[in-house]
Amino acid sequence: MASIRHSAGALLGRAHRRHYLQAYLFISPVIVLFTLFRIWPSLQTLYFSFFKVELLKGRLTYVGLQNFIDLAQDEIFRRAIANTLIYALTIVPLSAFLAMILAVLFSEHFHLRELFKAVYFAPMVTSTVAAAVVWWWLYNPQFGLFNSVLRVLHLPEQPWLLSSRMALPSVIIFSIWKTLGYNMVIYIAALQAIPAMFYEAATIDGAGPFQRFVRITLPLLAPTTTFILIYNTIFAFQVFDQVLVLTGGGPAFSTNVVVLELYTQAFQRYRFGYASAEAMVLFLFILGVTVLQYFYSRRFEVAY
Amino acid sequence: MSRSRTSVLLVAVLSLAIGLPGVSAQAQPTLTLWYPAGEITQTTLPLRDPTLFAPFEATAKVKVEMVALDYDTMQQKIFAAAAARNVPDILFIDTSWMPGFLKEELLEQVDPAKAKRWLAAVTPEIVELSDYGKGTMWGYPQMGIDVYGLTWNKQHFKEAGLDPERPPRTWDELREYCRKLVRRDATGKIVRVGYAIRHVGHPHGVVHKHLWAIWGAGADLIDDPNALRGGRVKFNNEGGRAALQLVLDMLNVDKCTSLDFPDPRAAFLKGIASMQISETVSIRARQPKEAPDMPWPTGWGMALPPARKAGDRPATLLGAWLFSVPRGAKNRDLAWRAVEWVNSEINDYNFARKYGLTPRYKSNWQKEPFKSDAYAQALLKMAPYGRRLPINLGLNGIMDALGGAIQKAWHGEATVQQALAEAERLANKAIADAAK
């Protein structure tokens, strides 16, 4: 009896192993590519961060933690971290909040609803660089559309990208416009997954639209909100192309963000070790914030 | 038997297949030349012209393939290509990239004997652009003098009661002219600036367009422009402060310029700026298309930037692109031959004449059409006052810091003293970091 059970178990185990082997075989091309183009460069970056790298001379000089010590004393890098934090902490909640409001509005049926949806989603499929060039013109203090509108409304014109105070908010406005469509579509999909019976039951119990939103929609959207917050945070910390096109990090470093600073150090000053250290700091930042966000957001999730 | 014959045949076919391309490649190698596309090199030798190297190709039995790259990413592409051991044979590079390239030992040095001959044969401003200390050359500067100068709209001058043939020569005159030239609408809003300033965009550009005042006031970017490593900045002093204050006074006291006018060249060509200081060749190249009703020399004038006071020597920036050969070029000797051919005395004359540029050899300036060309002669008069950027490895950091300081001061976000003190600290740190 025991031997029968043993051989059956062995058979099952073999089948199980074969099953897994096949599965791994199927995903192996992706694993190989991912290792080659993601994991290996990341490990190399970590390695380089402890060296002075002279790429063309093929020379690596071990400096230990010196790159990180220099980073801690680097005013411009600290400013870039602060700018990136301000950017992320502004754009992520604002974009998520506005997207949720729009998604709720779009869940109602009205004339030209699909057209409006397409209009809001269009920035998402537009190249960031191309869109940023257009916005650079919109922000032009003299000929730009924004100041023309302000002029018509008899409101004070703004220097937008030309001022250290206004440049980062201007980049943030652009980024919200760019990310809103994607977040909205995710929320619309999540709203459609909420069973109608919850709302029907709440209506019978006398709940108004606001109560239904707060008591049903908001809690049931929590997993989606978690996803959107984490996803947007990761990308917000990696902001680069719109800053490069709109301001180049200026005026006076007021929009200099971590990835732009990293790019400058690596490809304009050829300090690859230092830039690698910056990349590691950014990685740890994103990892920390993501983990925090994940555990904190889960507290608000509910299941009916 | 038949099998062995087949084997022999197969080996022969394979040998031919492998060998033929090699034979043809040996017969006519290809030299690759990278240059930046677009407006940025519009005023230099037109490398976009596919016939440019035709005579050289015929005699040297070589094909010169010219590849246009995007300026903004070209520096990175050169570096990436060098790192991948696949660098092109010839590079046409911006001199502001030189420090980084020299740090990484990316460029070949021009043969000292040839460098000596070149420096003896060319005009002083070309010597300034070529000589990186004790006769060391890393490439041959472009033909076509790229000197920063004051350009002014002669019609505006007439309207304001100013002599259209007499530009401002001192800082005081610049302010006085600026006040007379500014125009406002009924609400008091400036619709035309007397003098347009570059105060936004890449900080390097901001510095480039104000170096005339910084240098003219006796300040400097760094104490030794030919030192690759080390040194200290020299702009946080009375001269540097005066240079920044000049524009601040025009903004806040004279109210004849504005921060709402982003690009001085564009503003000048649109007719909403009466004066500006930048690359004169750029105005010359763009004016026919962008401002056809303002032709040279009746519509606009060109002169050296004003000196700080009467009797002072004016100063200005000399820009340049270099023909250089990178280390690791696959066809190094041929590449040098091609570069030397382009930069030979006869081709300097032929190309300058053909493409409407200024020559570099002293002997060619004695020939027509350059001898009596008013525009070329005007450039030649300005050029001796020109200086090139320093070579220091920390140059990028210096420019970033100073450009940021200029922006802060002019935007009223810091006093001139605060802005320059901070810039000095950041720039000196950049110099020290780069030297590590």
Q: Which two tokens stand for residue B396?
A: 């990028």
**CA-CA distance, B130 to B128, in Å (whole number)?**
6
For residues B408 and B202, which has the higher predicted lDDT (pLDDT)? B408
Residue A148, judged by CB atoms within 10 A of its CB (0-12, 13-18, 19+), counts as: middle
- A140-186 pLDDT tens trace: 887 789 999 998 999 988 888 888 889 999 999 999 999 999 999 99
* Min distance B408 CA to chain A CA atoms (Å): 6
Asked whether the bond before B369 is cis by omega within 30 degrees of 0, the reply is: yes
- A17-59 pLDDT tens trace: 888 888 899 999 999 999 999 999 999 999 999 999 988 888 8
Q: What confidence score (pLDDT) does residue B352 get? A: 93
Cβ distance B56 to B296 under 8 Å? no
CB of A137 less than 8 A from some CB of B: no
**CA-CA distance, A49 to B276, in Å (whole number)?**
45
Mutate: best of A253, A263, A264, partner B, most B CBs <10 A: A253
Q: What confidence tier does A3 reach under pLDDT thresholds 50, 70, 90?
A: low
- B237-293 pLDDT tens trace: 999 999 999 999 999 999 999 988 868 999 999 999 999 999 998 899 899 999 999
| DSSP track, B221-262 | S-S-TT-SS----B-SSHHHHHHHHHHHHHHHTS--S-TT--
- Residue A282, H or E segment: helix A272-298
Residues from chain B that touch A164, judged by Cβ atoms under 8 A, are: 407-408, 411, 413
Mutate: best of B407, B425, B426, B431, partner A, most A CBs <10 A: B407
Q: What confidence score (pLDDT) does residue B24 get? A: 44
CB of A60 less than 8 A from some CB of B: no
Q: What confidence score (pLDDT) does residue B67 get? A: 94
Q: Which two tokens stand for residue B34?
A: 């990278």
For residues B341 and B144, which has the higher predicted lDDT (pLDDT)? B341
What average pLDDT does the segment B141-150 reach? 91
- A251-288 pLDDT tens trace: 888 999 999 999 989 988 888 999 999 999 999 989 99
- B24-73 pLDDT tens trace: 445 679 999 999 987 767 667 788 888 999 999 999 999 999 999 988 88
Tell me the average pLDDT of chain A: 89
Q: What confidence score (pLDDT) does residue A289 get? A: 87
CB contact under 8 A, A251 and B408: yes
**CA-CA distance, B75 to B78, in Å (whole number)?**
5
Tell me the average pLDDT of chain B: 90
CB contact under 8 A, B199 and A162: yes
**Selection from B21-25, B42-46, B95-99 with the highest mean pLDDT:** B95-99
> Would you give the end-to-end CA distance of chain B in angstroms?
70
Cβ distance B424 to B417 under 8 Å? no
Give this prediction's pTM. 0.81
- B279-336 pLDDT tens trace: 998 899 899 999 999 999 999 999 999 999 999 999 999 988 999 999 999 999 999 9
Out of A140, A159, A250, the one facing B203 most closely (by C-beta) is A250
pLDDT at A303 over 90: no
CB contact under 8 A, B200 and A57: no
- B353-403 pLDDT tens trace: 998 889 999 999 999 999 999 889 999 999 999 999 998 989 988 998 999
Q: What confidence tier does A5 reach under pLDDT thresholds 50, 70, 90?
A: low
